[in-house]
Amino acid sequence: MVLRQIEGSLHGQGLRIGVVVSRFNQVVTSRLLDGAMEGLLQHGVREHDIIVAWVPGSFEIPLVAKKMAESNRYEAIICLGAVIKGETAHFDYVAGEASNGIAKAALEVGVPIIFGVLTTYTTEQALDRAGGEQGNKGFEAAESAIEMATLMRLLGGSEEPLA
């Protein structure tokens, strides 16, 4: 038996990428954005092919991500935010709507929309994941975007790898 497998790559050359980033908890999200930019540029995406849209908070991310995805201008969208648990249930609503909305938008539009929204109990935990001890989830989101964009290209392209 010959098992046929496909996967995306980390070759970002020629890809156009949209980034949606939340201003809420900007001390964290600006670092996620730095990580995402580093990841995209390191893998060959040109700065000219990246658009960054700032939104007030993570709750607003899905709408803008969906609008970008629908524009057909980008092969993948990266969503960056930081939802940090406070004293109230607000956290659950914001985190839930952000994750559900992002997943729904990706499935509806058929464009990869990457979930780079941190959901943590403390600011320290968030900073650890935004360029601290636990790496940078923005960088990882950039790699996921490139992998998914190149995989989608393979699945929908003229090479017909599945034929």
Q: Which residues bind ligand INI (CB under 6 A)?
A: 22, 24-25, 56-60, 81-84, 86, 90-91, 94
**SS3 (DSSP) at 86:** coil
Q: Is 43 noted as a catalytic residue in this protein?
A: no
- The two three-digit tokens of residue 86, written as one number: 């406070």
Catalytic one of 11, 43, 48, 90? 90
Q: Which is nearer to ligand INI, 56 or 157 (CB)?
A: 56
If residue 81 lies in a helix (H) or strand (E), which one and from where to where? strand 76-84
**SS3 (DSSP) at 5:** coil
Q: Which is nearer to ligand INI, 62 or 131 (CB)?
A: 62
Do 16 and 75 touch, CB atoms closer than 8 A? yes
Q: Which is nearer to ligand INI, 16 or 23 (CB)?
A: 23
Q: Which residues are catalytic?
A: 90
